Structure 1
Amino acid sequence: MATRVPGRAATATVDGDGSITGWSAAAERMSGFSADRVLGRSAFDLLAGDAPIAVLRAVVRRQPFTGMVRLTRAERDPVAVELAIVPVLTASGEQSWVVSAQPLQPLGADPPAAITEVSEREAGPEDLARRRLALLGEAGLRIGSTLEVQRTAQELADVGTEDFADFVGVDLLETVFGSGPPSSAGLVFYRVAQQSVLPGCPESAVAVGARDVILPESPMAQVLSAGRPVRTDMRDQKMRTWMQREPRRLRSAERFGIHSSLLVPLTARGVTLGVAIFLRHRSPEAFDDDDLVLATELTARAALSVDNARQYTQQRDTALALQRSLLPARTPRQAAVEVAFHYLPVNGRDGVGGDWFDVIALSGARVALVVGDVVGHGVPASAAMGRLRMAVRTLADIDMPPDELLTHLDDLVLRIDLEELPDSATTWAGGSVGATCLYAVYDPVGRTFTMARAGHPGPVLVDPNGAVTFPELPPGPPLGLGGLPFESMELAVPEGSVLALYTDGLLRASELHGDPALGLDGLASALAEPTGSLEALCNRVLDATLGSAAPSDDVALLLARTRALHEQDVAGWELRRDPAEVARARKLATMTLTDWGLEEAAFVTELVVSELVTNAVRYGLPPIGLRLIRDGGTLICEVSDASSTAPHMRRARTYDEGGRGLLLVAQLCRNWGTRHTPRGKTIWAEQQL
């Protein structure tokens, strides 16, 4: 911690080896080291940092040098150097001293050197100006290193207590953090940062993070009202009158001897953010007008960084809230797979990205697993992600095959570009909304995955024995390019297999280390270890691929363990294209429900089977099939044929002979629909048991 120590100059003499041969009383007082403790020791041990040591070594050994500090030459002294502000190790810790060094003997003689500390009281105008410039330079390097409001305010407090103030507190208005409960007593602040030359900031009347209500007649309120910084004497009568109403501040001022303060408003881009408080109690000198100018400059730099951090935080919170509202909070009830997922938003300057995942229940006890990534960050990426996710859900609801679904999604991205992108805008790969996606459909009856991808990383499959494979999916172009086909692949998997879908942020950490294979190896190793819980497996995968480092990009991870519907839960028959088959279909359905112990559902099921089979016999093409599926609390009836013509529900008029069958099915069942297959179509209806 930097301190300011008044008093006369301290001197030490050093021989040609750098050993201390003399130590003045002022040096003892200022360093806290007695002469017995330092005589004979190396002076280089007292200086912190390589640069000051190199300068002193050059002086002692009579080696001319340039580049670091002011250099003066005399007739008998070839080198006289001022080391400017140098960190010195003292008994109370590291302090900042103004140090100079020069040879005491002419060339050719045994060359001891003198090291002289110059306190601020003895420093001239040039020394003070140099200190202030050095402090401003330090502030420019250290304040605003992150886009975090509290961290930026703490950097101002840290810099302000280095060779300037004895205590610095940064208070931000409550409005900076959003609206809070109003207070009729005065302005409401939050203490976001503070620093002191004393450990633990004991002179602070407000704890960091605490809510502080100040009186309208307080100096802080007046500073904010006037918009100008002020320099106050704590012994002034007006200050004493105000502090009588602030017992905490009065006790602190009397206990620690606080005698001088600077109050500077934090203002950026016309917005008042709060106030910075600079106090002195250990240093006897009061703040002067030049100190007020310096504090104003420090605070102005910090205010701009705080405002940047505030705006970034607001935008990031908005994007994150939007993205979380668009992502599934929980997965739908379905019996096809057991799922677990993790989503980690990036905490960088660019803001959250457009990664998403989804689990969609489909007809026939099937389920769709989706993972995707929109190019970009912030609110636009989150909004684009929401549009694409809703589009995928809509297309999945009409049971589109994966390759056709991605084709329609690609068309949607192109339409978004044409509608929203200015003609002169620069696009990503032909569009403004670039995205990748992987869409997989699992059928627990056939125990197969059908999947397709659009520029997205491929999945990882783990069989029940722990063997890890990377299925070679046809790659497919990213969404938004247009005119290029997508291709599906069907993959048979045993019951209990685990499919891992993820976004590229999961592997980005290993790519930053120069070896993308490390991410895949870590992913495979983590998935191969046996575990009973998918949640635990998610955590293990993240630990193996990301480690302790924060992700450099958003990460979405979706794990699905497959289940299967066995023969005792599925019954199917092939029917002829003959009206007499309708009665046979009703009888087969009733017998099956009796075997399953579902006699109560027989009446509704007979009506549904009769209507669907009749439509297939009348308007469809052979082969015609009937299938019943018992899926937990749901009974599914499916009738398939080779025709691609799908029925539509309509409202029958009074004297119409037809048009009431599907209306009856819709009233009796929870849901119904049509899905097209490579061999025709399937009409399905679900009953809630």
Structure 2
Amino acid sequence: MQQVPFDEVTTNAARDAGGWLGALPVAVVATSSEGTIVRWDHAAEDLLGYTPHEVLGRHIADLLHPGADRVLGRSLWEGAATGSGVMGVVTAWHREGRPLDMEIWACPVPARHRGGTTVLVFAAEAEAARRIRGSSAVWDGLFSRSPVGIAILDTQLRFLRVNPALEEMNGLPQAAHIGRRLVEILPDVNAADMERSMRRALEEGRPVVDSRRTGRTPADPDHDHVWSGSYVRLEDTDGRPIGLAATLIDITAQQQAQMAAEKGRRHLALVNEATLKIGTSLDLERTAQELADVAVPDLADAVTVDVLDSLAAGGELGAGLVGGATLRRLAKAPLTGSPVTAALVPLGRTLTFPSGAPYTRALGACRPFVVADFDEQAVAAAAGHSDTPAELLRLGVHSFMMTPLLARGVVLGMASFYRTRPVGPFTEDEVALAGELAARAAVCVDNARLYRREHDTAAVLQRSMLPQHITPPPGIEVAHRYLPASDVNEVGGDWYDVIALDDGRAVLVIGDVMGHGTAAAAVMGRLSASVRALARLDLAPEDVLYQLEAALHDLAEPMLATFLSIVVDPATGRCRVTRAGHPPPAAVFPDGTVRLLESTPGLPLGVGGIRFTSTDVTLPAGSLLVLYTDGLVEARSSDIDARLSELTDLLAEPVPSLPALCDRLLTHLVPASADDDIALLVARVGGGDGGAPGGTG
């Protein structure tokens, strides 16, 4: 096989190509840059006898004569793939088992669909080609029939010749090209960038592959296109540059498909991010801010979120939007550093819109309101309702949309999106994306609304069931506290009580229904009422627990509860401690020592099949008993033993009164946002009111 350098191709092409395409059947084969056959047309099948199924995926050198130098054959295609197109004569092996001499012309072109480079190969029977050699039809035929735009330019980058495909791409005849440079005939493309690539190919002698041309031409003046260009230096026999060969392929459709796929991936990633970041709490303001933060900057440059004022105030949704809309601004992004958000209504402010305003119409229609091109005309349309649009236009807003927050068909508010960067107006896909984000946030806002209503109901129910007035018998002084969980968590079922018995004794009670919400509060009320009734029957503490467990088993949905009772005789200091899975009580003795009272812990009420026991202890007069629920001593990041040790250390420090002791424990042991509700009961046994026992004073 004889390999001919590309510079000979350029000088001989005018003589040879037309004959190949005009008088001869010409096979058109395409390979990857590694030589793997990726295209095999009917002419190639007629020429060598192989069907596409037999050759696709094979290396083109495999089709050479078995005795040929395959290393040379592979180097031929490697040379073509790197840009130094080749022309030559090769001996192929026909499917019928005979040699066949062929003339080939190979050159690289950018791959349309896979990226990289494709080697395009024209081939014809060598003997027939030699019979018509001498004609200039090869180059003329190649120019006239190639679907690839081809041009020859001189060393000053002036057009010498263009083929019909390039005339069609540019929308200009060959006469408009000849003698002129690209920057002169196509001012609406990046001609200067292309000429820099051309000069690099001329100066360095290395082909430039896949240099992108973008913009508009007279062929399609209303739409942007993208072309892939490749440039190869033409040389004389002494290697001096004499010009440039350029090929051009329109890859607009491919680019649009890639951009659409990339945009789809970005949108999917944003939806996934919204799923993770919107609705991390049941707080209205936080959910609104999460929506705004997620949308900036991938979807918009500024975002505001407003909800109905009745909803933000903790009430019901109201009668709809009759007569206008009143909303409260709960979120904006970015919070700082944006002139647009700085010009908008601050957080917490109420906005009122009349029934005819675009804002109200968008809410009433329950569909997005989009101003793709925010301009003077759009400002004029809103001038009667607000001065803000004019200010936004001055700050560079060029596209705007409002998307209602809808949950279960009910309007909860509105998210507004503003765009200032030069990335074009909001598209239909982006409007749909904004709707997905708003729908996600709306569900979370509605959940927060429903939670708030249930939380408030449960809180009222629970507080109504806690003892309103505690009157201990003589010889016992008490202080108590109830601290609900933070707004992030639901109300629980913690309670306490002090029940005076006829013989001067008292029953100190504290319990915790496992669960949250109205159901837990209702069960707590049921247990607390039962305890009061059973204690006055003078039942043994163990029997009281059995009755409470039976009451839990009677529920339609079984629940568990922890429970602690201490029957105290202030005259003798004798105490009977009975536990059902509850944290141990603490005792503070008159000398200041503190310890947790040892008693059988038992299992929570509702487990069933458990034998409850009691432990008797006697306390010196003036001792303190401290009863508490687990919310006081349990923390996610701390060991329970360490927390109990912290509790006993705090109890050992002097305080002026029992209420002050309660406040100290809550202040030091409970964070600002408690994870669980807390009940706390402190009692001084005996000693009257005159002294400060042990750690109190």
Q: TM-score band (shorter)? A: 0.5 to 0.7
1:244 aligns with 2:370: no
Q: Residue 627 of structure 1 corresponds to which residue in structure 2?
A: none
1:178 corresponds to which residue?
315
Cα deviation 1:523-572 (Å, max 9, x = unaligned): 211112222233333344345545x4754433322222223469xxxxxx
Residue identity matched to 1:561: R
* 1:289 corresponds to: 428
User: What is the letter of the counterpart of residue 348 of structure 2?
Assistant: G
**Contact 1:166-1:283 within 8 A present in 2 as well:** no
Residue 455 in 1 paired to residue 589 in 2? Answer: no
User: CA 1:180–1:152 in 2, change beyond 3 Å: closer, same or farther?
Assistant: closer
CA distance in 1, matches of 2:468, 2:345: 39
Which residue of 549, 553, 568 corresponds with 2:676?
553
- Does the CA-based 8 Å contact 1:509-1:551 persist in structure 2? no
Q: Which of 676, 686, 695 is residue 563 of structure 1 equivalent to?
A: 686
> Quick check: 134-143 or 162-171, which moved more?
134-143
Equivalent residues in 2 for 1:152-163 (5 A)?
A: 152-163=287-298
2:627 counterpart of 1:488: no
Q: Determine if contact 2:328/2:350 at 8 Å carries over to the other structure.
A: yes
Cα deviation code 1:420-479 (max 9, x no counterpart)? 24xxxxxxxxxx122221112323223332332223222111101111122222334432
The answer as to whether partners of 2:489 and 2:676 remain within 8 angstroms in 1 is no
* Maintained 8 Å contact 1:355/1:372: yes
Q: Which residue of 2 aligns with 1:602?
A: none
Trace 1:95-106 onto structure 2 (pairs within 5 A): none
Aligned to 1:538: 662
Name the structure 2 match of 1:151.
286
- 74 and 322 in structure 1: CA distance in 2 versus 1, 3 angstrom threshold: farther
Q: Map of 1:432-451 to 2, 5 A cutoff?
A: 432-451=558-577
Is 2:412 the partner of 1:273?
A: yes
Cα offset, 1:162, TM superposition? 1.2
CA gap 1:474/1:134 in 2 versus in 1, 3 angstroms: closer
Cα distance in 2 for partners of 1:72, 1:561 equals: 84
Q: Which residue of 1 aligns with 2:513?
A: 374
What SS does the corresponding residue of 1:212 show, helix, strand or coil? Answer: strand
Cross-structure match for 1:189: 327
Listed as ranges, the matches of 1:128-527 within 5 Å are 128-176=263-311, 177-179=314-316, 186-196=324-334, 199=337, 202-232=341-371, 233-235=373-375, 237=377, 240-247=380-387, 249-250=388-389, 252-253=391-392, 256-281=395-420, 283=422, 285-329=424-468, 331-332=470-471, 335-347=474-486, 351-414=490-553, 416-417=554-555, 420-421=556-557, 432-482=558-608, 484-509=610-635, 513=638, 515-527=639-651
Deviation (angstroms), 1:157: 0.6
Residues 359 and 285 from structure 1, CA distance in 2 versus in 1: closer, same or farther, beyond 3 angstroms?
same
Counterpart contact for 2:357–2:385, Cα < 8 Å: no
Amino acid at match of 2:278: I
> What amino acid maps onto 1:458 in structure 2?
P
The alpha-carbon deviation at position 202 of structure 1 amounts to 4.5
In the superposition, relative to structure 1, how do residues 362 and 188 fare at CA in structure 2: closer, same or farther (>3 Å)? farther
Distance 1:407 1:136, change over 3 A: closer
Distance 1:495 1:240, change over 3 A: farther
Deviations 1:185-233 (A, max 9, x none): 5222111111138527644442212222211112222112211112125
Q: Confirm or deny: 8 A CA contact 1:161 1:197 kept in the other structure.
A: no
Structure 1 residues 129, 451: CA separation in 2 closer, same or farther (over 3 Å shift)? closer
- The residue that corresponds to 1:53 in the other structure is none
Question: SS of the counterpart of 2:279?
Answer: coil
Per-residue CA deviation, residues 104-159 of structure 1 (Å, 9 max, x unaligned), is: 9xxxxxxxxxxx9x9xx999634544443443333233222223221111011112
Residues in 1 aligned to 2:473 and 2:398: alpha-carbon distance in whole angstroms: 71
- CA, structure 1 residues 219+330, in 2 after alignment: closer, same or farther (shift >3 Å)? farther
Amino acid of the residue matched to residue 311 of structure 1? L
Deviations 1:623-655 (A, max 9, x none): xxxxxxxxxxxxxxxxxxxxxxxxxxxxxxxxx
In structure 2, the partner of 1:95 is none
Q: Which residue of structure 1 lines up, in the alignment, with residue 70 of structure 2?
A: none
Q: How many equivalent pairs are there?
A: 440
1:361-403 CA distances to partner (integer Å, 9 max, x unpaired)? 3334443211011122222111101100111122234444433
CA–CA separation in structure 1 for the residues paired with 2:658 and 2:323: 53
CA distance in 2, matches of 1:294, 1:243: 29
Q: 1:146 to 1:180 in 2, by over 3 A?
A: closer
In the TM superposition, what whole-angstrom CA distance separates every residue of 1:594-619 from its partner, at most 9, and x where no partner exists? xxxxxxxxxxxxxxxxxxxxxxxxxx
Contact 1:452 1:474 in 2 (8 A): yes
Contact 2:382 2:389 in 1 (8 A): no
Aligned CA distance change for structure 1 residues 242 and 533 (closer, same or farther; 3 Å) = same
| C-alpha spacing 1:489/1:138, structure 2 compared with 1 (3 Å) | closer
The 8 Å contact of residues 350 and 378 in structure 1, kept in 2 or not, is answered as: no
Rounded Cα–Cα distance in structure 1 between residues aligned with 2:117 and 2:470: 83
Check 1:441–1:306 CA distance in 2 against 1; reply closer, same or farther (3 A cut). Answer: same
Q: Judging changes above 3 Å, is the alpha-carbon distance between structure 1 residues 205 and 361 closer, same or farther for their aligned structure 2 residues?
A: farther
Structure 1 range deviating more: 373-382 or 355-364 = 355-364
Task: Output the CA distance in 1 between the equivalents of 2:441 and 2:358.
Answer: 21
Computing the radius of gyration over CA atoms, which structure comes out larger, 1 or 2? 2
Q: Aligned letter for 1:450? A: R
2:585 maps to a residue whose letter is P
Tell me, what secondary structure is at the counterpart of 1:303?
Answer: helix
- The Cα offsets for residues 287-342 of structure 1, whole Å up to 9 and x where unpaired, read as 23333222222222222232233333333333233222222355336543332333
Please give the per-residue CA displacement for 1:564-604, whole angstroms capped at 9, x wherever unaligned.
469xxxxxxxxxxxxxxxxxxxxxxxxxxxxxxxxxxxxxx
Distance 1:439 1:181, change over 3 A: same
Q: In 1, Cα distance between the equivalents of 2:566 and 2:467? A: 17
Q: Kindly tell me: are residues 375 and 286 of structure 1, through their superposed partners in 2, closer, same or farther at Cα, counting changes over 3 Å?
A: same
* Paired residues of 2:310 and 2:318 also in contact (CA < 8 A): no
* Cα distance between partner residues in 1 of 2:465 and 2:479: 18
Distance 1:72 1:343 in 2: 69
What are structure 1's unaligned runs of at least 5 residues?
A: 1-69, 76-103, 105-115, 422-431, 567-689
* Identity among equivalent pairs (%): 41
Q: Is the 2:621–2:687 contact (alpha carbons within 8 Å) kept by the matching residues of 1?
A: yes
Structure 1 segment 674-685 matched on structure 2, within 5 A: none
SS at match of 1:363: coil
**Following the alignment from structure 1 to structure 2, what is the Cα–Cα distance between the partners of residues 344 and 391?**
23
Shift in CA distance, 465/129, structure 1 to aligned 2, threshold 3 Å = same
Residue 250 of structure 1: how far off its partner (Å): 4.6
Unmatched 5+ stretches in structure 2: 1-112, 119-199, 201-211, 215-223, 227-254, 690-697
